[in-house]
Structure 1
Amino acid sequence: MAHGKLDMGKAWTQATALMGLNRDTIGAIAGLFFFLPSMASALFVPVTAITTAPPAGSSGGEDPAVVMQAAVDQMTALYADNWPILLAVFAMQFIGSMSLFALLTDRGNPTVGEALATGIKGLPSYIAAQLITVIGASLAIGLPLGLISALGGEAVAVLAVLVALVAIIYIMVKVSLAAPVIAIEGQRNPFTALVRSWQLTKGNSVRIAVFIALLVVVIGIISTLVSGIITLILSALGGGVATIGGAAVNALVNALLTALFVVVTVAIYRQLSDDLPQRAADIFE
């Protein structure tokens, strides 16, 4: 199914308009489902630095695969030790994201309560779609490239990793609209939602990837500078103030970025969907 080319300028204009029109509701949902869980995670989950130093007694020229495996093992241990908290945080953020999708894209002008109900109902389908994507990508990309890198040596392994990263980014772009499909179109079949997202992004994968990459770079630089300055000020106060203040700053940045990317995804969906609500078209006429 053919779609028009994504207009990145229009998508950003629509996103900022949506944020302006719904700032109170977006702020409430982001505060409850993004800020507070991130704050709790920052305070109760220990921060573990991922070390890539070679083990003691090694030559220092460690195989990249060994170093990567060590980092993966550390992350696995972190999740294993704190999975109840992290699971609750992920669930809250998923519900918040789905609720925002429903609130901003549903043609029925839902209330906050109705949007939350839609978010909760769509959560199993959304999680299933994520799991299908991860498992499918692992089988389609990870296994062949893992075999190639194992047989081809270090240079081939590095090339395989680069190819895998490109393929992963491509798949993420292709399935990026599955969440609004579940929320707005009421699609509860995760396979159908993924196929619909794949169709919606047809012919616009590169544009979507470039648009998101530009946002990540620009907003990442701004948020890093702002959070860095605030964290430096808080560090001067020392003790618990610095710890709690730093956690609050990081949680606020996470909440703002998450809400922003949800709204941007809505704007992209509105452009590419064949079933745009009439009220959405009226807003931006």
Structure 2
Amino acid sequence: MEPLNKFDSSRAWTQAAQAVSANREVVLALAGVFFLLPQLVFAIFFPPPETAASMNQTQAMEAVKAYYMSIVPIMVPMALFQALGSISLLCLLDSDRRPTVGEAIRAGVKGVVPYLLAQILSGMGIAAVALVVAGVLGAAAGMVGGVIGLTVVLLFAVVVGVRLSVTAPVIAVEHQFNPVAALVRSWKLTRGNTARLLGFYALLVIAMLVLLIFANVLTMPVALLAPVEVARFVAAAVESLLASIMALYFVAVLAQVHRQLAGPSAQVQADLFG
């Protein structure tokens, strides 16, 4: 079966960058509020624990486990807040309707719960498949089967993630607030473009990792020369800023991926042919 529209990664990136540039003031303001501020607060006030050299593996794992358990009450509202920011930015970057900032945030408020429900449903589906595959292969072939099962599950999760990657734009731009229908719509839109999308997303992730490594190299002199608290603040600020910019561009990319695969909106088509 042929894809609905053939995905062009170069055009998606170019148009995403142009969309961010054209709306620079408002998108940077929203990214600062919804991405930079919470990440900076989290990085400064909830840093990961430092494991002492004297700790054994069990003690180190217990320390990490205790840390993650302690930040759950912070992570949940932070995830909600950033999801709201993502949906709002997707609405704002909808060039067909050109909503105001207020309209985009209101649309984000309406879309955040369906988006989170869609994420939970897809996660539960992947987890269910993972349990079945890993369990069957593990029971049939022991440790080797478990490793094979884990590899299969990871590949399955990646493919499903790619197929469902435009769920957020479907909710934000198409106003599809039924989470199941939004997942189905994303699955249909990405049909036939899985390999292209996977390669594109992989390149974006690699580029982001390179930028983070580069940022760590740049802050290394501060870490060596400045007091510990100053070095920690600078590192947190730089990493949070880069992570926020990356999140902004990734949202813009998703908007353009959806726009390519979905084609012009019904309103635009009505304006063209009306």
TM-score scaled to structure 1, two decimals?
A: 0.85
2:168 matches 1:167: no
Which amino acid is the alignment partner of residue 24 of structure 1? E
CA separation of 1:79/1:120 partners in 2, compared to 1, >3 Å: closer, same or farther?
Answer: farther
C-alpha distance in structure 1 between counterparts of 2:261 and 2:129, whole Å: 27
Structure 2 residues without counterparts, runs of 5 or longer: 270-274
Q: In structure 2, give the amino acid aligned to 1:113.
A: G
Quick one: structure 1 residues 235 and 30, their matched pair in 2 at CA, closer, same or farther if it must change by over 3 Å? farther
Asked whether the 8 Å contact 1:231–1:249 carries over to 2, the reply is no
Correspondence 1:243 to 2:232: yes
Measured against aligned partners, the alpha-carbon deviations of 1:60-97 in whole angstroms (never above 9, x if no partner) come to: xxxxxxxxxx96x7665433212221112111111110
Q: Which residue of 2 aligns with 1:223?
A: 212
Residues 49-64 of structure 1 aligned to structure 2 (within 5 Å): 55=58
1:150-229 equivalences under 5 Å are 150-229=139-218
Q: 1:76 to 1:139 in 2, by over 3 A?
A: farther
CA–CA distance in structure 2, aligned partners of residues 102 and 238 of structure 1? 43
Q: Which whole-Å CA distance do the structure 1 matches of 2:38 and 2:261 have between them?
A: 32
The corresponding residue for 2:272 is none
Residue by residue over 1:133-182, the C-alpha shift from the partner in whole angstroms, topping out at 9 and shown as x without a partner, is 00011112333223422442222222111111110000111111010000
Structure 1: give runs of 5+ residues left out of the alignment: 57-69, 281-285
Write out the 4+ residue segments of structure 1 that deviate beyond 4 Å after TM superposition: 49-56, 73-76, 277-280
How far apart in 2 are the matches of 1:104 and 1:129?
A: 21
Match of 2:255 among 238, 253, 266: 266
Percent identity of the aligned residues?
34
Q: Would the alpha carbon gap of residues 150 and 229 (structure 1) be closer, same or farther in structure 2, given more than 3 Å must change?
A: farther
Q: Which moved more, 1:46-55 or 1:144-153?
A: 46-55
Aligned residues of 1:107 and 1:277 also touching (Cα < 8 A): no
Moved more, 149-158 or 116-125: 149-158
- Indicate if the aligned counterparts of 2:7 and 2:261 stay in contact, CA closer than 8 A: yes
Q: Which residue of 1 aligns with 2:21?
A: 20
The structure 1 residue matched to 2:69, chosen from 61, 80, 104, is 80
**In terms of mean alpha carbon deviation, does 264-273 or 134-143 score higher?**
134-143
Matching residue's letter, 1:198: W
Over 3 Å counting, the alpha-carbon distance change for 1:189 and 1:26 in structure 2 is: same
Structure 1 CA distance for aligned equivalents of residues 126 and 175 of structure 2? 25
Provide the rounded CA distance (Å) in 2 between the counterparts of 1:77 and 1:55: 12
Q: What residue number does 1:34 align with?
A: 35
The answer to whether structure 1 residue 104 and structure 2 residue 93 are counterparts is: yes
Structure 2 residue corresponding to 1:133, chosen from 92, 106, 122: 122
Post-superposition offset of 1:55: 4.7
Q: 1:2 to 1:146 in 2, by over 3 A?
A: same
On the 8 A contact 2:134/2:145 being kept in 1, the answer is no
Residue deviations 1:21-57 (CA, integer Å, cap 9, x gap): 111111101100000100111122230469997559x
Partner amino acid, structure 2, of 1:262: V
Q: Answer yes or no: is the 8 Å Cα contact 2:5–2:262 preserved in 1.
A: no
Describe the SS at the equivalent of 1:153: helix
Indicate if the aligned counterparts of 2:133 and 2:153 stay in contact, CA closer than 8 A. Answer: no
Q: What letter matches 2:123 in structure 1?
A: V
Q: 1:100 to 1:154 in 2, by over 3 A?
A: same
> Aligned partners of 1:247 and 1:277: how far apart in 2?
44
Q: Is the 8 A contact 1:106 1:184 kept in 2?
A: no
